[in-house]
Amino acid sequence: MRGAISASASVQERCRSRSNRPLRMKLRGVTLLLALQTLILFVGAVVAWSSALSQIVDFLARYGTLLRFDELLIPNPLLTSCLYGSIAFLIVLFWSTLVLGRPSYLSERNLRNLLLFCVAFAASVVSMEAAAYYHVIGAVSFTCSPGIAPTATPCFRGLLAFGAAFLAAILAARRLESPIE
């Protein structure tokens, strides 16, 4: 009798562990997606800030101050979209790290929406760069790299990083939202 009780207890334990398997697999998949999203944003932040800081150093070497705004040969880094994109990378990287630590559908959905805004911002900057590069418009360039092909600019790399992180956020939010099977 004692052997039958211990055998049924081990069967019950195996059944419990099997019933938790979908939950563990789902959480592992979500954690991997969130880690990938955070890694993409980290790389994007490093690339963006290396570009922004090099522009700041170049501007300071030429003009000695960041507070000069007219009669410039190179754009003031405080007025370029590169600095604001770099700040956006820090914000979404911080948020993504928080979501990675405590995954929740609401936080990931809000991060996904912020990433959508970042993708739209980067796409608008790249389209303005393309329009200026191909002389579609005669506007003054507000970008960090005037005269360079749009696909070779830091803004384009930022667009790719924001887009990849946005895709990971969509997939992670769907996994967090879906019921456990």
pLDDT in tens, 50-65: 999 999 999 999 999 9
Collect all residues with Cβ–Cβ distance below 8 Å to 36 and sequence separation of at least 6: 168
> What pLDDT shows up at residue 140?
58
Q: What is the mean pLDDT of residues 40-47?
A: 97
> What pLDDT shows up at residue 141?
61
Collect all residues with Cβ–Cβ distance below 8 Å to 80 and sequence separation of at least 6: 55, 142, 143, 144
> What pLDDT shows up at residue 40?
97
Sign of CA dihedral 107, 109, 115, 117: negative
pLDDT digits (tens, 9 = 90+) for 101-152: 998 889 999 999 999 999 999 999 999 888 888 888 765 566 677 778 889 9
What residue type is 146 in one-letter code? P
Ranges of each domain in the chain:
22-177
* Structure token pair of residue 179: 């019921």
What rounded mean pLDDT belongs to the chain?
Answer: 84
Distance between CA 57 and CA 174 in Å, rounded?
42
* Structure token pair of residue 120: 């739209």
Distance between CA 85 and CA 98 in Å, rounded?
20
- With 0-12 / 13-18 / 19 or more C-beta atoms within 10 angstroms meaning exposed / middle / buried, residue 61 is exposed
pTM of the model: 0.80
> What pLDDT shows up at residue 139?
57
In this predicted structure, the answer to whether residue 3 has a pLDDT above a threshold of 60 is no
